[in-house]
Amino acid sequence: MSAMSTTLSGIGRRWDGVVDRYNALPKPARLGLVILFAAFVYLLPLLRPPILTTNNIDFGGVMFSVAAFALVAVGLNIVIGYAGLLDLGYVGFYAVGAYTTGVLTTYHWHWPFFLALPLAIAVTMVTGVILGAPTLRVRGDYLAIVTLGFGEIIRITVKNVEWVGASAGIKDISHPNTIGAAPNPPFDRGGMFDVPRLQWDGIIPSLDRDHPTAVLAFGAVDAIPYYWVILTALILVLVGDRLVKSSRVGRAWEATREDEDAAELMGVPTFKYKLMAFALGAAIGGLSGAFYASGQGGYISPDSFPLLLSMLFVAAVIVGGSGNRWGAIVGGALVAYLPERFREFADYRLLFFGLALSVLAIWRPEGLLPPRRSRRAKAVEAEIEALEEGALEGSTHA
């Protein structure tokens, strides 16, 4: 039992070690490492490392959903982790982003994807403000209940409104325009150039020229270009998240989460900052949904946005470690990746998931990678406990 908890908290300590070592490096070395790491992540679906690579299902597609879930988790982390607002209907924003994109690029208009994207984000953000403005004034659990309802209302609404395809959904959603040479079906996928991928014979890699990826060709065959685009969005969002969090905005969020009354009495307009966190989270959810809609599959329907998805999103943030953006990414990635990697056990997926959550809840309730501060607070608690025990022993000896 304690072995489990040591293993789990070992993750946190090892991560601290990594961060410390990284921070101790000179700036050029840090930049080099970041570029190297980013390159590795971008190339992952081409490198197809053994064990990691899913065999029964397209690895590029899996990596796309990993990145999409990570993006969603980063957005939800702002709402739950930073501002402390329990949003149980995040899938609603995901759906609003997806449907706005579907309607704009395909169903009613034929906007190019990259023009529809900003509007999808804006529409989702406005939805967030409309939902948040009345509910965020009320304290307590109302928000959880209202957002839970919101997720369902969005799903039921799109199911019944012909204008957005009702229960049939929207099919054949236009892909983003291919960058480079235009595709020339059925065989020429277009794009700027082709890159081969690796294949592995045990631990021996070799080039696999039979399955090239056409760079930035957005078609129905290859998910990897979509992965690159959403990964780029994730990186941009991460940079923005970091800049905003390490400012008075981030402090205002945290103060509000810690003690809303005290924050107000210290001059924090808490409502404004809660609404800001909520709207930003919504916008990022919408962004993710837009990518999902015009992704490789190009199909959305009310069934694409079940309540369960909201629960998975929240689980991703909590599993990763609420309040830490890297934790959110890890949580999102795991929640998307593990079921695909272990498809053989597909029938037991929910069982495993429930077990894993219970294990985590018992031995590491703060998540895999909680913010450094909660780890530090835990360490101090342990220290104090040890001291007290020592003091007690001392007094019994005396």
Q: Interface with another protein includes 318 (CB under 8 A)?
A: no
Q: Interface with another protein includes 365 (CB under 8 A)?
A: no
Identify the residue among 72, 276, 282, 328 touching another protein (CB under 8 A).
276
Identify the residue among 53, 199, 301, 374 touching another protein (CB under 8 A).
374
Q: How far is the CB of 264 from another protein (least distance, A)?
A: 4
Instruction: Give the number of residues in contact with another protein, rule: CB under 8 A.
Output: 29
Point out which span in 43-51, 62-70, 344-352, 370-378 binds another protein (CB under 8 A).
Answer: 370-378
Count of helices and strands (H, E) across the chain: 14, 2
Pull the structure tokens for residue 354: 């429930």
Identify the residue among 263, 287, 317, 330 touching another protein (CB under 8 A).
263
Point out which span in 69-77, 102-110, 252-260, 351-359 binds another protein (CB under 8 A).
Answer: 252-260
CB nearer to another protein: pick between 257 and 341: 257
Smallest Cα–Cα separation from 277: which of 247, 250, 237, 317? 250
Which residues in 191-250 contact another protein (CB under 8 A)?
240, 243-244, 247-250
Q: How far apart are CA 86 and CA 140, in angstroms?
A: 9
Give CA torsion, residues 201, 203, 204, 208, to 10 deg.
50
Q: Which amino acid is at 227?
A: Y
Q: How far is the CB of 53 from another protein (least distance, A)?
A: 37
Q: What is the DSSP string of 276-331?
A: HHHHHHHHHHHHHHHHHHTSSS--B-GGGS-HHHHHHHHHHHHHH-TT-HHHHHHH
CB nearer to another protein: pick between 161 and 377: 377
CB nearer to another protein: pick between 133 and 350: 133
Q: Interface with another protein includes 20 (CB under 8 A)?
A: no
Q: Interface with another protein includes 122 (CB under 8 A)?
A: no
Contact status, residue 103 vs residue 113, Cβ threshold 8 Å: no
Pull the structure tokens for residue 47: 């490198």
Q: Interface with another protein includes 267 (CB under 8 A)?
A: yes
Q: Which residues of 52-63 are buried (b: 16+ CB within 10 A; e: fewer)?
A: ebbeeebbbbbb
Q: How far is the CB of 393 from another protein (least distance, A)?
A: 23
Pull the structure tokens for residue 143: 């928000």
Pull the structure tokens for residue 347: 């029938």
Per CB under 8 A, residues contacting another protein are 240, 243-244, 247-252, 254-255, 258-259, 261-270, 276, 373-374, 376-377, 380
